[in-house]
Amino acid sequence: MASIKAVLAGLEPPLEHEIYMKDGLLKLILIDPNVPAQVERSLSPHEYTDIIRFRLLVLYAVNEIRGKGSLAPLEVIPAIDWDAST
pLDDT at 5: 74
- Report pLDDT for 44: 95
Q: H-helix or E-strand containing 81?
A: none
Q: Residue 48: its pLDDT value, please?
A: 85
Residue 8's pLDDT is what?
Answer: 76
pLDDT at site 68: 96
For every one of its 86 residues, what pLDDT tens digit does the chain have, with 9 covering 90 and above? 567 777 777 777 788 889 899 999 999 999 999 999 999 999 999 998 888 888 889 889 999 999 999 998 887 676 666 565 54
β pairing state of 16-22 and 37-43: unpaired
**Closest alpha carbon to 56 in 77, 28, 38, 26:** 77
- Assess whether the previous peptide bond of 14 is cis (omega < 30° from 0): no
Q: How many CA atoms lie within 13 A of 5 on its CB side?
A: 8
Residue 3, SS3 per DSSP = coil
**Domain locations in the chain?**
4-80
